[in-house]
């Protein structure tokens, strides 16, 4: 009967009754009540945060198609203003024919590339990992490879893959979920996302006065706001490309650097292969100065399947 009595004694001690064992002080009943209330508040706060995140995911799924339509409308409005108002106004002001044809050709080139890269970023799947193999398949495979399984979507989870709570699936080399394309940015569509931002930034605000026309004024404001936003976002993604990181890995690596610094060590991103190789990991084996990478319909595709990536330790010494 010693075990039941010991259990009963412990329960009484938790409730604030009885005498504590020798060498221990009995906590006051008020302290126990405060601890319980704190634990209840923490549980309630955790549930509220989880509920808010679930509501945000639902909101992004609902607003995604609307934001895509809004983006297409804004691009179309600015293009309409350029071709139907600005170009005729340039012709009326006596702009030479070669200059006018050059403006038209450049405008068409930028517009086609904006719409092509945007359509590819929206429609192309970011990169879904293969199904997790069964026990028989896992034994038949290479035993040196440690396969991970996502506990949410139950698919394979290769290196650099993360689970998207909005898409409800894992994405290979996931960068983030972008509501403006209603899709995740991952291994398959990251270069199209970057090129879309690049060509969108090239569409600079026209040099006209605000009083010229309402459409020109509104297009000028839209273009200026987009340009300023892309200077920040595009600059950040340019840094990520040359350092071979994703947005998620950027935050993870920052934490790893701080932890290593406290230990007196130096942390290095294992996927940082140098600026040239990092660039080719995103835009394919195309030379930067040839500028063929700016036309993905002509350039070579990035190598690899998204399930594995070269690391610094795998590089051959020069």
| DSSP-assigned letters across all residues of the chain | -HHHHHHHHHHHHHHT-SPPPTT-PPPPHHHHHHHHHHHHHHHHHHHHHHHHHHHHHHHHHHHHHHHHHHHHHHHHHHHHHIIIIIHHHHHHTT--HHHHHHHHHHHHHHHHHHHHHHHHHHHS---PPPBPP-HHHHHHS-TTS---B-TTT-BB--TT-EEETTTTEEETT--EEETTTTEEE-TTTHHHHHHHHHHHHHSPPPS--TTS-HHHHHHHHHHHHHHHHHHHHHHHHHHHHHHT--HHHHHHHHHHHHHHHHTT-----TT---HHHHHHHHH-S--GGG-GGG-TTTSPPPSS-SS----GGGSPP-
> What is the reported pLDDT for 89?
82
261 Cβ contact list (under 8 Å, min separation 6): 267
Work out the pLDDT band at 220, boundaries 50, 70, 90: confident
In this predicted structure, the answer to whether residue 248 has a pLDDT above a threshold of 90 is yes
Mean pLDDT of 303-307: 87
Instruction: Calculate ∠ Cα 210-213-214, nearest 5°.
Output: 85
In this predicted structure, the answer to whether residue 179 has a pLDDT above a threshold of 50 is yes
pLDDT tens, position by position, 69-81: 999 999 998 888 8
Mean pLDDT of 192-206: 85
- CB count in 10 Å sphere of residue 223: 20
Work out the pLDDT band at 135, boundaries 50, 70, 90: very low
Work out the pLDDT band at 215, boundaries 50, 70, 90: confident
In this predicted structure, the answer to whether residue 14 has a pLDDT above a threshold of 80 is no
In this predicted structure, the answer to whether residue 153 has a pLDDT above a threshold of 70 is yes
pLDDT tens, position by position, 271-287: 999 999 999 999 999 98
Alpha-carbon gap, residue 85 to 212, rounded angstroms: 10
In this predicted structure, the answer to whether residue 142 has a pLDDT above a threshold of 50 is no
Residue the block writes with tokens 């002001």:
93
List the structure tokens of 246: 């994703």
> What is the reported pLDDT for 1?
42
Work out the pLDDT band at 85, boundaries 50, 70, 90: confident
Sign of the torsion formed by the C-alpha atoms of 170, 172, 174 and 180: negative
Catalytic positions, please? 178
User: With contact defined as beta carbons under 8 Å apart, do 223 and 82 qualify?
Assistant: no
Which position has the higher pLDDT, 15 or 248? 248
Work out the pLDDT band at 56, boundaries 50, 70, 90: confident
Exposed / middle / buried, residue 287 (Cβ in 10 Å: 0-12, 13-18, 19+): exposed
Nearest to 125, CA basis, from 62, 57, 187? 187
In this predicted structure, the answer to whether residue 306 has a pLDDT above a threshold of 90 is no
pTM for the structure as a whole: 0.79
Mean pLDDT of 118-138: 82
> What is the reported pLDDT for 197?
93
> What is the reported pLDDT for 278?
94
In this predicted structure, the answer to whether residue 91 has a pLDDT above a threshold of 70 is yes
């Amino acid at each position: 009967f010693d075990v039941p009595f010991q259990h009963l004694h412990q329960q009484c001690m938790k409730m604030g009754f009885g005498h504590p064992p020798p060498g221990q002080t009995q906590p006051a009943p008020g302290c126990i009540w405060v601890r319980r209330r704190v634990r209840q508040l923490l549980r309630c706060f955790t549930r509220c945060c989880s509920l808010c995140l679930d509501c945000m995911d639902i909101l992004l799924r609902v607003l995604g198609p609307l934001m895509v339509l809004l983006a297409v409308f804004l691009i179309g409005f600015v293009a309409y203003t350029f071709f139907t108002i600005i170009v005729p106004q340039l012709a009326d002001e006596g702009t030479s024919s070669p200059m006018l044809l050059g403006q038209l050709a450049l405008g068409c080139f930028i517009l086609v590339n904006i719409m092509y890269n945007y359509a590819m970023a929206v429609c192309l799947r970011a990169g879904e990992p293969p199904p997790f193999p069964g026990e028989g398949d896992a034994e038949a495979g290479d035993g040196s490879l440690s396969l991970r399984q996502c506990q949410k979507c139950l698919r394979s989870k290769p290196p650099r893959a993360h689970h998207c709570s909005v898409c409800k699936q894992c994405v290979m080399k996931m960068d983030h979920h972008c509501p403006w394309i209603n899709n995740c940015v991952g291994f398959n569509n990251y270069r199209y996302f970057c090129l879309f931002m690049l060509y969108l930034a090239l569409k600079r605000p026209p040099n006209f006065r605000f009083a010229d026309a309402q459409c020109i004024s509104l297009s000028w404001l839209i273009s200026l706001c987009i340009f300023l936003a892309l200077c920040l976002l595009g600059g950040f993604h340019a840094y990520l490309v040359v350092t071979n990181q994703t947005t998620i890995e950027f935050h993870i690596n920052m934490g790893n650097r701080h932890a290593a610094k406290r230990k007196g060590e130096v942390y290095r991103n294992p996927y940082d292969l140098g600026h040239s190789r990092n660039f080719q990991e995103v835009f394919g084996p195309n030379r930067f100065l040839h500028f063929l990478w700016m036309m993905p319909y002509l350039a070579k595709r990035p190598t690899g399947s998204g399930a594995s990536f070269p690391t610094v330790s795998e590089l051959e010494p020069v």
